[in-house]
Structure 1
Amino acid sequence: MIELFEMPPGGPYLLSHSAGLLPSAARNEFEAHFFTPWAAKPGESWPLWLSAIDDFRTALASLLGGRMEDYCPEPNVSAALFALLSGLTLEKGRNAIVMSAHAFPSLGFVAQQAERLGFRFEILEGDPADIAIWEAALKTDVAVVLAMHVHSNTSIVSPVTEIAALARARGIFSIIDIAQSAGILPINVTAWQADALIGSCLKWLCGGPGAGFLWCPHDLKPLNVGWFSHEAPFEFDIRNFRYAPNARRFWGGTPSVAPYVLATTGIRTISDISVEAILKHNHALIARIDPSDRSGKGGTLCHKPADMEKTMAALTAAGCRFDRRGDTLRLSFHIYNTEQDADIVAGCLL
């Protein structure tokens, strides 16, 4: 599978939790669907570009489930979260946004600023894999629960189906962040029955930066609109705004195109290989280092070395690309990693 990706020189690349490697096909696909419409059909590029973005939405639906119409491009997960929150109508006495203390901080920053819209931010302490903690936190004053499918610093998986079921039974809007799981863990939006998903193509989907997305089948009315949120974007009547009848209502103004053209190749490449095959390969490589059970974990091996400095020095000397969060090293094995990569890492860990 290595030949399918742009492999950097040097030792093992272990940063797929941060930025997955682009597929080799991405250069030609980008040329065909971004540059060629611009150069070959000046003044007629937009219909072709918008068709390419529909291809992006279709690729997401094929991989993650649900209808293409319920997916909307977003620049990142933070923007996607704010778009969703801005479209909710708060009920009296119910305004809390609950998320784990282990959630990605950027989302907490969005939730804090959403207090200006009438929300109240609550941080859930404890193990995010423990459904009992979520059940106790989802009280009658909660409007929104946000759960990370996989937590970036620990690789812990939240019980998202159960969280969504609890929220649904209690009238709470549920949002699942799949930025660290899309492309490495199986996902089916229909089976989860959450109210919305937010994600990114940068990591395990190997789609490059700038291609975030949201999935929402609900008739929300977001605040951050623009002409591409309009039912008829090319109507050009400043006095008459009507929300688009699907998730395009979250799109906003003139859209970015290039990131989504690039990301589509990544999504399709991952789909062709299959998430199940990638996860099986990931588990096999991690088992060469740590044979413990991987259930309840994402694709990243989070290792706490006895001697951080010596371990980092050994990994660096071996040419490994990795990162550190506090007392934890993050090491991610994708389909383009090999048994030799895993053995190199095993020889460096202390």
Structure 2
Amino acid sequence: MNQARDLFHLPEGGPYLLAHSVGCLPRAAMGALEAGMLAPWQTAGGGAWPRWLETIEDFRTAVARLLGVDPATVAPQTSVSAALFTLLSGLKPQTGKNVVLLSEQAFPTIGFVLAPLARLGLHARFIPAGEDPSDPATWERHFDGSVAAVIAMHVHSNTGLVSPVSEIAALARRHGAMSIIDLAQSAGILPIPAQEWDADALIGSCVKWLCGGPGAAYLQVRSGLIAALEPLDVGWFAHEEPFAFDIRDFRYATDARRFQGGTPSIAPFALAAAGIRAVLEVGQAPIRANNRACIAAFEEAARQSLDWAARSGTLCLVCDDPQGATEALSAAGFAHDFRGNILRASFHIWNAPEEARDLAQALRRAGVAFTPAR
């Protein structure tokens, strides 16, 4: 445990419980940035590009290891929003099949991306927030032949609820729709059996549980689907031959690089690859085991069962006095956050069960009552 904790720089102050927002900086990140971005620039100037492109490939390889997929199916992205727009813009219009299905509990950026896609004939259908997105029957009720794509959060950021990913992907296949799974709140803490899910596409960011910092995200597309998608957001790095330099001849890359767009940023992907490697070095199973031990310690100290076994790694608790809770937790040094009246607190490998007990006791001393978010 201590050895794994030492792989990360911990922010100053008390227990850091914000892995669901920004993961801690890996100690290897600065060396990775130096080797993958700065040193080649310093020593080679414009000749740094071969090494810089290796950095991008290193990132694709790291994501592929994390997800258990072929690196050729992975494209670096600047954000989840960019990944989703690029992917959906590649759908070919079909008469009577123009609905994108998602829950109102999805992260808002998903809905924002869909709004302008109405210009391309795609329209959002929202499952009401009051319907449980962790129940397969919820998704079944809203599927029909007009659904072109479905977007499911593997984990919902304000509740910790986990979508029935395999069932959603199977529903999509039966209805001839694309299945897209957002891993932003799950990769690094929950298992991602991509091959078992058999979803068409996975999107996610590296800033949270993967400890990769902002500006690096990814899009993974099932290999058999890639050739059928022709994204609108292209550039020379989406070209089959980026260095052909024929302005009249654009041909999509045959692998997931067709979703890559123009000249890539280098620094975010050097940092993100270091974060993913740190998580893989610790092992996702030990990270999850420690998370569950911390949640069990919280429940014991709170004298309250939360039935969190089937949820994510983030406690999402509706508090009757959010102001009192945040004052008490801030005074005790806990790095946490609130979404409205929902306390969010995450336990990564750098946390210990003692910290979880202290969190529960701070809430009890403040007289704050809480229930799991739904």
Residue in 1 that maps onto 2:362: 348
Which among 126, 135, 139 is matched to residue 134 of structure 1? 139
Q: Which amino acid is 2:100 matched to?
A: I
1:208-219 → structure 2 map (5 Å cutoff): 208-216=213-221, 217=223, 218=225, 219=227
Q: Which amino acid is 1:197 matched to?
A: L
1:77-92 → structure 2 map (5 Å cutoff): 77-92=80-95
Whole-Å separation in 1 of the counterparts to 2:46 and 2:247: 24
Whole-Å separation in 2 of the counterparts to 1:308 and 1:254: 45
Whole-Å separation in 1 of the counterparts to 2:180 and 2:311: 20
Q: Secondary structure at the match of 2:65?
A: helix
Q: TM-score, normalised by structure 1?
A: 0.98
**What stretches of structure 1 move > 6 A for 4+ residues in a row?**
none
State whether structure 2 residue 248 is matched by structure 1 residue 245.
no
Which among 100, 112, 119 is matched to residue 116 of structure 1? 119
C-alpha contact (below 8 Å) 2:207/2:216 kept by paired residues: yes
Q: Which amino acid is 2:97 matched to?
A: R
Moved more, 339-348 or 13-22: 339-348
Residue in 2 that maps onto 1:3: 6
> What percentage of aligned pairs have identical amino acids?
53
Residue in 2 that maps onto 1:311: 325
Shift of 1:263: 0.5
Q: Which amino acid is 1:196 matched to?
A: A
Residue in 2 that maps onto 1:34: 37
State whether structure 2 residue 333 is matched by structure 1 residue 324.
no
1:70-81 → structure 2 map (5 Å cutoff): 70-81=73-84
Shift of 1:293: 2.9
Q: Secondary structure at the match of 1:79?
A: helix
Q: Which amino acid is 2:323 matched to?
A: E
Whole-Å separation in 2 of the counterparts to 1:89 and 1:303: 42
Shift of 1:312: 1.2
State whether structure 2 residue 148 is matched by structure 1 residue 143.
yes
State whether structure 2 residue 190 is matched by structure 1 residue 176.
no
Residue in 1 that maps onto 2:290: 281
C-alpha contact (below 8 Å) 1:90/1:143 kept by paired residues: no
Shift of 1:22: 1.3
Shift of 1:343: 2.1
The Cα RMSD (Å) is 1.0
Which among 222, 227, 231 is matched to residue 236 of structure 2? 227
Q: Secondary structure at the match of 2:326?
A: helix
The count of residues paired between Structure 1 and Structure 2 equals 350
User: Which sections of structure 1, spanning at least 5 residues, go unmatched?
Assistant: none
User: Which sections of structure 2, spanning at least 5 residues, go unmatched?
Assistant: 300-304, 369-374
Which among 293, 298, 316 is matched to residue 302 of structure 1? 316
Q: TM-score, normalised by structure 2?
A: 0.92
C-alpha contact (below 8 Å) 1:285/1:333 kept by paired residues: yes
Deviation string 1:165-197 (CA, Å, 9 cap, x unpaired) is 111121011100000000000102211110101
Residue in 1 that maps onto 2:268: 259
Residue in 1 that maps onto 2:53: 50
